[in-house]
Amino acid sequence: MFLSKSLVPILKNIPSEAKIKSHKLMLRTGMIKQSSAGIYSWLPLGFKIMKKIESIVRLEQDNIGVQEILMPTIQSSEIWKESGRYNDYGEEMLRIKDRQNREMLYGPTNEELITEIFRNSIKSYKSLPQLLYHIQWKFRDELRPRFGVMRCREFYMKDAYSFDLSIDEAIYSYNKFFLAYLKTFKKLDLSAIPMAADTGPIGGNLSHEFIIIAETGESKIYTDKRIFGVNYSDTVVDESSLSNLRTTYDEFYAVTDEKFDQNEFNEKVSDDNKLITKGIEVGHIFYFGDKYSKAMNASVDKDGKKEFVKMGSYGIGVSRLVAAIIEAKYDDKNEIMKWPINIAPYHCAILPQVSKNDKSNLEKSLNIYNYLKSKNIDAIIDDTDEGIIAKIKKFNLIGIPYQIVIGKNSTDEKFEFAKVGEDLQFLSTDEIENIIKKDLKN
RNA sequence: CGGGGUGUAGCGCAGCCUGGUAGCGCAUCUGGUUUGGGACCAGAGGGUCGCAGGUUCAAAUCCUGCCACCCCGACCA
């Protein structure tokens, strides 16, 4: 791909509406374009990143046996009246009428819709558990959208739902997601802390928020440093193993400021282990029992008796994660972004020194590009005639993990190669390939 | 929704107080000189000044209404 042919509108001036670094960077590098308050178009760079995050989220859902479906964005008000939330949800729900004057809404979440699907399809306890997810746009009409895609109105979310016969089995399902979430955020190179949380309008009595550490995060958090040492690599998907994992995590003090209690903090955490910082909520899981199944009559037959299924729901803000990762990884002082290679829009940037009279470096770039391509390494060539300094600066900002500079110091065999923001070294294409490949494997 | 603020070229801004028909930097295009941590010179293109009405010989500028966007607060994946 050539930069000159990409829709990547890079700005030197930061649009004045952006206040936090992720929003600034996303606008500057042309990842998104605001359409109206809290509603954004995703341009190629941003969209590529979001899609890569999505695929990691998807993989970890599939790994615990969740089935992917796709539900619509527009829902009928009928099912929301059944659950009672048509009134409860309030102004945050965007209500619309179709041409027949039927009351419709743009889904802020999907408990009702999935429950309706379930009750029409599953009749026997033998079909349980049912674990289902989809990745779809949601709309919540925030009073005050802000911070770009961090707190916007239209957002892309993975939401999963579980249906079980008993509470114990439902907790088992819950714990599967608990583990899947830890693994997902780990793969995104984020430190996520599960925290006991309030359930809000979803309802229920068991809930965890997954918060990632970021100095510019919205919520203040209080926790125990040792929580990062919990090892879940040996945790397997069975009831006792997962239950142990939950217990291990729940023993550590970890709360946001609404739930903070200084005395409890002092009691449970030694001064050495206290960590007070800020974070961003990127996932939230709930167990809410038969709240919706009872209201909407979703049941299965067991021993000749009707049993309301026990449900849970599990969200990950996919579009928010794009901004959250920037908050965690962007060095705005030096203007260097470092995308983990598995979600970077390209693996490598090729930056040739080009002048009007001498296009030879561009030809060399193409050779390297084709070579890397044949090795499944995705590169982008900056074929513009800007100075090499400008190109490096620009790609530091974009955050593609590796840069190859092809200029006056290159030879036919050795090129300057750097991890973004680090020093250049002379390497052959073989060596470059090996470094990138190694990174891709991790 | 309460309080505050802003709408002028893709982005950042000046002009408005004191009305005379729009300007600067970045970006874009052309030509030339450059080329290692965001180069320089010369030239060019691009704006019904958020929208609607009003005052006036004349409105970006004054008046009225509306709209949009941003910030602080309450609420939240």
Tokens of residue A440, six digits: 């891709």
Q: What b-and-e string marks burial along A245-255, b requiring 16 or more CB atoms within 10 Å of the CB?
A: bbeebeebbbb
How many other CB atoms are there within 10 angstroms of residue A96's CB atom?
Answer: 11
Question: According to the model, what pLDDT value does residue A260 have?
Answer: 85
Nucleotide in closest CA–C1' contact with A148: B70
| Cα dihedral sign, A110-A112-A115-A120 | negative
Question: According to the model, what pLDDT value does residue A307 have?
Answer: 96
Please tell me the distance from the alpha carbon of residue A436 to that of residue A340, in angstroms, as a whole number. Answer: 12
Question: According to the model, what pLDDT value does residue A187 have?
Answer: 96
- Which residue reads 């982008």 in tokens? A380
| Cα dihedral sign, A256-A258-A262-A264 | negative
A9 CA → B20 C1’, Å: 39
Question: According to the model, what pLDDT value does residue A268 have?
Answer: 93
Report which of A403, A414, A393 is spatially closest to residue A346, judged by C-alpha positions.
Answer: A403
Three-point CA angle A321, A324, A330, nearest 5°: 130
pLDDT digits over A154-170, tens only?
A: 999 999 999 999 999 99
Greatest pairwise CA separation for chain A in angstroms: 85
Phi/psi region, residue A381 (left: phi>0; alpha: psi -120 to 50; beta: rest), is beta
pLDDT digits over A284-293, tens only?
A: 999 999 999 9
Question: According to the model, what pLDDT value does residue A201 have?
Answer: 62
Residues A400/A420, Cβ–Cβ less than 8 Å: yes
Looking only at the bridges linking them, the beta strands covering A310-317 and A154-164 are: antiparallel
Task: With a cut of 70, say whether residue A207 has pLDDT above it.
Answer: yes
For the whole model, what pTM was predicted?
Answer: 0.96
> Residue type for A9, please?
P
pLDDT digits over A268-277, tens only?
A: 999 999 999 8
Report which of A397, A9, A430, A389 is spatially closest to residue A405, judged by C-alpha positions.
Answer: A389
- Which residue reads 């983990």 in tokens? A340
A13 CA → B13 C1’, Å: 11
Residues A306/A128, Cβ–Cβ less than 8 Å: no
pLDDT digits over A38-83, tens only?
A: 999 999 999 999 999 999 999 999 999 999 999 999 999 999 999 9
Nucleotide in closest CA–C1' contact with A321: B77
Tokens of residue A214, six digits: 């970021």
Report which of A31, A109, A96 is spatially closest to residue A288, judged by C-alpha positions.
Answer: A109
Complex prediction ipTM: 0.93
DSSP per residue over A200-264, as a string? GGG--SEEEEEEEE-TT-SEEEEEEGGGGG---TT--SSHHHHHHHHHHHHTS-EEEGGG--HHH
pLDDT higher at A277 or A115: A115
Tokens of residue A104, six digits: 């419709």
Please tell me the distance from the alpha carbon of residue A368 to that of residue A391, in angstroms, as a whole number. Answer: 18
Nucleotide in closest CA–C1' contact with A387: B35
Q: Which domains does chain A have, with CATH numbers?
A: 3-329 (3.30.930.10), 348-441 (3.40.50.800)
pLDDT digits over A300-339, tens only?
A: 999 999 999 999 999 999 999 999 999 999 999 999 999 9
Nucleotide in closest CA–C1' contact with A17: B70
Nucleotides of B under 7 A from a protein CB: 1-2, 10-13, 25-28, 32-39, 68-77
Tokens of residue A216, six digits: 């510019």
How many other CB atoms are there within 10 angstroms of residue A169's CB atom?
Answer: 18
